[in-house]
Structure 1
Amino acid sequence: MRLRISPPLIASLLTLPLAACTVGPDYVRPQANVSEEFKEVKGWKQAQPRDTGLPGKWWEIFNDPKLNELEEQVAAANQSIIQAEAQYRQAQHLVQSVQSSLLPVATLTGTFNRFRAATGQNVAVGGVRNLFGQAVGVAWEPDLWGSVRRQVEANTSNAQASAATLHALILSSQSALADSYFQMKTLDAQKALLDETVTAFAKILEITKNRYAVGVVAKADVVQAETQLETVRAQSIDLGVQRAKLEHAIAVLIGKMPAELALAVSPLNAQPPGVPVSLPSELLERRPDIAAAERKIAAANAQIGVAKAAYFPTLNLASTNGFQSPTADTLFTMARRYWSLGPAGLALTLFDGGAKNAQYKQAIDAYDASVAAYRQTVLTGFQEVEDNLAALRILDEETQVQDKAVAAAKQALALTNNQYQAGTVSYINVMTAQTAALSNQQTAVQLLGQRLSASVLLVKALGGGWNETLVPTEDEADGDRKWTDYLILPVVE
């Protein structure tokens, strides 16, 4: 059975009379400037209602089964995420470690001495003697000024920040995979376009050779046609380098060796989905990196209390109960029993060269720095949302214009080919029309890829369906404990 003991009941009882003696400022979440509305959302049409949030499996809005399959493997197999999970567990155990300082420490000792008194020493029994001993000692330093409790508070906040950082890494890895996946599909679409162009150029080359054979065109036209054909073939082959790198990156993101993953070529038939955009004020609750930065402020605030408590005196209490005997067989008898209360020590530093004062100021400076880091994280979050809203809006407008350019270029190419075959224009006109058509079609494919990437990045900027309720509570931040965790020997599950 797993027990939830956080903080331990005994520690609560021991520190209850001292609960009011916690020095240092209580945490208040700092304010951050938030705009009333995203500037770039104006003029950008959403496909879903404003109050509809992103789903937890946000990648499903792209309706791509292969992407869904890959994304499901990220959280379970990505080694960076597994590392972050271990670091979160480590942060939980740091909370438990500090909580133990609230409790007394009990020690069991056993001793054996064999000795002889020095010559001339006045002793009751001369010669060689034995002395057996056994004692149980208890030592406790009461948390008079809340130093330990502030450290527990700091470690708890750090554990919560670690959990939020873990979620931020998961979101970042998932979005990186989706972005790489759509970039790869864009390359596949570009290669398909180039392969189609190679086929068309090969036909034109054949026509040109036939016309040269009958003396209609010059040899230069044949050479130009061959040059154009081989140039496009080289471009098609060159895309393989970029595709291989993207495929390898996807393999690493799902925790596999690059040799273990081979993604088949598939058409780029996806369209950017409608991404629901929340109110700006809700962004603070939906980005795990902002939550992590805010929890680090709480930890820094608690450290001010730890530094301030160092100014005050410390009290140490101790007691011992044991047995002492010259023979082992009479050791555990009431006649051999002894006990002591103490030593009890009260210590106050009178002079340390300004060390404590410097440490206290350092804690305040660290708090100020964490507040600035939090506000910068908020600003960056808003910038990322605005950037990708603007990208989607502008790219959508550009796509509409580019589609018209593609249609016009195709029509111009068809007319020029007819004119060339009729002998009314030179081959240079054909080359110009072919180059313009290919360039416009490539731009159209790249625009679709950019729009898909911008959609992925917008989802990431909006938190990817995460919300602040996923940050562990104070009771959850110290992890689960079993009774065996309180044993003095490690117990492996």
Structure 2
Amino acid sequence: MIDAITRSHLRLVLLVTVLFLTACATRQEPSRAPVELPAEYTRTGHLAVSDTWWKAFDDRQLDRLVERALDDNLSLRASYQRLRQARAVADRQGAALFPSLDATAGAERQETDNTETDTFSAGLSASYEVDLWGRVQSVSEAESFRASASLADYQAAAVSLSGEIANTWFQLVEQRAQLALAESQLETNNKVLTVIESRFAMGQNSSADVLRQRQLVSASRERLSNIEGEAGVLQHQLAVLLGQSPGQGNLPEDDTLPALPPLPETGVPAELVQRRPDLQQAWRVVQAADRDLAAAISNRFPRFSIEASIRSQANDAGDLFDNWLSTLAGNLVVPLVDGGERRAEVRRSGAVLEELIQEYGQAVIVAVREVEDALAREQQQRRRLQSLNDQGRLADTTYRQLRNQYLNGTVSYIEVLTALKDKQDLQRTILNTRQQLLTTRVALYRALAGSIESAKTPENNEV
């Protein structure tokens, strides 16, 4: 008889051990992204990329705008509230790891025809699920990873916002510079028109020359109107990014584009994975899915919970705590038949995990591509800007020579007009290319940037 009991106990211990090891086997760190990263980028500089990367442009107005946006942008504030929600959910789920304790108190009066009976009660009750297979711990860890993902998402939104501010500001500054250039070109074209009209009055020009120059003056006025309209739209966009209504942005006045900073140090692609908040967000989501899978597997095993209570009841409040009734109970719930529901949930959770791993891998290689694209575009735009500057100098020299020859009567006006148009077109193109070069550098900084730490960053505030 004793041997039979001993064998039964051994079988029970063996079963529990197997189940425990099976549960532990679910708590594996998910594999990293299924991609192979290159050893280095095609180009690199020497200056380290700061989290406050926009300060590399040495533009005080831009610095102020970014700081205002990080404080007041409404979309970023909404992202901050989503982070608070995620952390609250994580705290709520983490509470399941600890026992719950409730206090009760009551008073009751029963009246009959001749008597009144008072009953007073008080007590404490506690309950706790023994996390044998790590299910509760896995669910808690999943929510903690999601909270970390929300923090990374908030930081990625801050990086994106700072990039939008920089791009919009540079576009606005370029439009203001284009406006100043258009006004100068209009003034030049009006002066040339005066000369043409004077020569026409003296019979030295045809009426067609006057009409062509008047057309150029009219086109210059139209360009001024278009630039003013585009500048107004950009001001509205910038005001909204600052969390203000259009027309109330109180934007600084500046029409000079900053110089392009030296090329930053790009580091190696493996560092990018650890630095970029959007990649960290994607990885935290993968880790949360891994914990969800562990919880789904553990959910197939038995659950054991303990409940305890202590209670006192009396007809007089003074006697309430004289007599106590205590109970202690253990509950074991063993899943037997569920039609394959739990097994299907395990398969679903596993497929979700694999999907997120693949998406994470895609995000990693896209991030590397963004750095390489920015490097390639900047190199191409540098060459283009150098070529445009050379063309601009040649166009200016050509125009001056043709203008002198025209005044001496050796060339026709149409050649002067063509040279003037070429020169002015190149001036506008050079300004636009300088802005595009700055925008490309912003893209490079955003591709390399880490998290932005500021007074508003949740790590520096009580959430």
TM-score category, normalised to shorter length: 0.7 to 0.9
Question: 1:204-243 maps to which residues of 2 (within 5 A)?
Answer: 204-243=192-231
What residue number does 1:83 align with? Answer: 78
Identity %: 27
Q: 1:168 aligns with which of 132, 152, 156?
A: 156
Amino acid at match of 1:92: R
Question: How many residues align structurally?
Answer: 438
Deviation string 1:305-350 (CA, Å, 9 cap, x unpaired) is 111111011122212211223444433323xx322222x3211222
After superposition, the Cα gap between the structure-2 partners of 1:330 and 1:382, relative to the gap in structure 1 and judged at 3 Å, is same
User: Distance between the aligned counterparts of 1:140 and 1:465, measured in 2?
Assistant: 40
Residue 266 (structure 1) shift = 2.2
Alignment TM-score, normalising by the size of structure 1: 0.82
Are positions 1:55 and 2:42 aligned together? no
Residue 116 (structure 1) shift = 8.2
Question: 1:348-363 maps to which residues of 2 (within 5 A)?
Answer: 348-363=334-349
Question: 1:437-476 maps to which residues of 2 (within 5 A)?
Answer: 437-464=423-450
Are positions 1:404 and 2:418 aligned together? no
Amino acid at match of 1:432: T
2:142–2:287 contact (8 Å) kept in structure 1? yes
Residue 434 (structure 1) shift = 1.5
Deviation string 1:183-228 (CA, Å, 9 cap, x unpaired) is 1122222222221111111011001111121222222222221111
Are positions 1:296 and 2:280 aligned together? no
What residue number does 1:120 align with? Answer: none
Runs of at least 5 residues in structure 1 that lack an aligned partner in the other structure: 1-17, 118-125, 482-493
Deviation string 1:121-151 (CA, Å, 9 cap, x unpaired) is xxxxx98755433222112221111111111
Q: 1:263 aligns with which of 233, 241, 252?
A: 252
Are positions 1:319 and 2:321 aligned together? no
Deviation string 1:269-303 (CA, Å, 9 cap, x unpaired) is 52343222212221112211111111111111011
User: Distance between the aligned counterparts of 1:480 and 1:210, measured in 2?
Assistant: 76
User: Distance between the aligned counterparts of 1:338 and 1:401, measured in 2?
Assistant: 93
What residue number does 1:25 align with? Answer: 27
Are positions 1:104 and 2:99 aligned together? yes
Question: 1:34-53 maps to which residues of 2 (within 5 A)?
Answer: 34-39=37-42, 41=43, 48-49=45-46, 52-53=47-48
User: Distance between the aligned counterparts of 1:160 and 1:29, measured in 2?
Assistant: 19
Residue 60 (structure 1) shift = 1.7
Residue 93 (structure 1) shift = 2.1
Residue 89 (structure 1) shift = 2.5
Residue 29 (structure 1) shift = 4.3
User: Distance between the aligned counterparts of 2:269 and 2:128, measured in 1?
Assistant: 50
Instruction: Please tell me the root mean square deviation across aligned C-alpha atoms, in Å.
Output: 2.7
2:172–2:234 contact (8 Å) kept in structure 1? yes
Amino acid at match of 2:377: A
The answer to which structure has the higher helix fraction is 2
Are positions 1:74 and 2:63 aligned together? no
Amino acid at match of 1:98: Q
What residue number does 1:182 align with? Answer: 170
After superposition, the Cα gap between the structure-2 partners of 1:189 and 1:60, relative to the gap in structure 1 and judged at 3 Å, is same
After superposition, the Cα gap between the structure-2 partners of 1:93 and 1:341, relative to the gap in structure 1 and judged at 3 Å, is same
Residue 245 (structure 1) shift = 2.0
User: Distance between the aligned counterparts of 1:218 and 1:480, measured in 2?
Assistant: 78
After superposition, the Cα gap between the structure-2 partners of 1:101 and 1:465, relative to the gap in structure 1 and judged at 3 Å, is closer
2:41–2:266 contact (8 Å) kept in structure 1? no
Are positions 1:155 and 2:143 aligned together? yes
User: Distance between the aligned counterparts of 2:51 and 2:177, measured in 1?
Assistant: 29
Are positions 1:339 and 2:326 aligned together? yes
Runs of at least 5 residues in structure 2 that lack an aligned partner in the other structure: 1-18
User: Distance between the aligned counterparts of 1:160 and 1:256, measured in 2?
Assistant: 30
1:275–1:455 contact (8 Å) kept in structure 2? no
Deviation string 1:37-94 (CA, Å, 9 cap, x unpaired) is 224x2xxxx5x42xx4212321121111211222222322222222222222222222
Alignment TM-score, normalising by the size of structure 2: 0.87
Amino acid at match of 1:24: T
1:205–1:225 contact (8 Å) kept in structure 2? yes
